[in-house]
């Protein structure tokens, strides 16, 4: 079964596509010859990425200015997609942020910003997509990017862990509600992945100690999420919904 070929021609929206995992998923979709819609706040980076995606094989690339903390921005983005006359097949809720700090020291504005992006934004994007699929009488796939922090916790990132736990339960509950419409909702739970957002941490003594706790004794690579992504995005996973699957080098089997 060639899951990459099964993604060809499908239209895929990826939020937070200007860096990290979002860029990786966009490149994967392009190599599979999917029609790619990339959304993020940093549109200058998206425009550069779009050129690369076309060279990789994407038959169409649409760039959207998208801030998932803004309901209006999400509605505008979906309106722009609607204007193309080509419905989405897959929505990837990848946009997310983190902040560090003990609960007693964390400003409430930082807590609110994180929740607006990591929870409310995921909800709004998923609901906008599902409304269109239901009204059109067609199914679709939502892939939420959660985290192993949605299953376990560690000191100093409580709001982040809370937000990812919310995404895990949101995934399961929406899967239950929308299964009757042929809409599948699943989540990838990455462990520690080397990305632009976290690269600096892994060179510190603290970061090196964290890596030692991973049973495989190394960081993951963004492309090591690709197999699960394709399973969720294509008919290869047609009977999977409400699944939240860790890809973490065995970390959840050990101590965080």
Clarify whether 206 is annotated catalytic: no
- H helices of the chain, in order, are 3-7, 20-31, 43-56, 71-83, 108-115, 121-136, 158-178, 205-212, 226-233
Q: Which of 160, 181, 192, 206 is catalytic?
A: 160
Distances (CA, A) of 86 to 62, 80, 177: 11, 11, 25
Q: Would you call 38 helix, strand, or coil by DSSP?
A: strand
Q: How far apart are CA 76 and CA 83, in angstroms?
A: 11
Which two three-digit tokens encode residue 113?
């910003």
For the chain, the residue count is 256
The residues annotated as belonging to the active site are: 160
């Amino acid at each position: 079964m060639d899951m990459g070929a099964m993604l060809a021609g499908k239209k895929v929206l990826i939020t937070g596509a200007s860096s990290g995992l979002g860029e990786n998923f966009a490149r994967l979709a392009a190599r599979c010859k999917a029609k790619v819609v990339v959304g993020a706040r940093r549109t200058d980076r998206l425009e550069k990425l779009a050129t690369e995606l076309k060279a990789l094989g994407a038959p169409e690339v649409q760039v959207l200015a998208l801030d998932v903390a803004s309901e209006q921005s999400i509605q505008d983005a979906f309106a722009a997609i609607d204007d193309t006359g080509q419905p989405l097949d897959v929505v990837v809720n990848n946009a997310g942020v983190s902040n560090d700090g003990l609960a007693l020291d964390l400003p409430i504005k930082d807590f609110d910003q994180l929740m607006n992006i990591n929870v409310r934004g995921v909800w709004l994007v998923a609901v906008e997509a599902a409304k269109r699929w239901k009204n059109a009488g067609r199914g679709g796939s939502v892939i939420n990017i959660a985290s192993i922090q949605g299953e376990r916790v560690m000191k100093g990132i409580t709001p982040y862990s809370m937000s990812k736990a919310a995404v895990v339960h949101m995934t399961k509950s929406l899967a239950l509600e929308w299964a009757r419409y042929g809409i599948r909702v699943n989540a990838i739970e990455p462990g520690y992945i080397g990305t632009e957002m976290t690269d600096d941490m892994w060179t510190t003594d603290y970061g090196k100690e964290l890596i030692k706790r991973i049973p495989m004794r190394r960081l993951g690579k963004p492309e090591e999420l690709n197999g699960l992504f394709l399973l969720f995005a294509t008919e290869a996973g047609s009977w999977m919904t409400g699944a939240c699957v860790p890809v973490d080098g065995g970390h959840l089997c050990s101590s965080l």
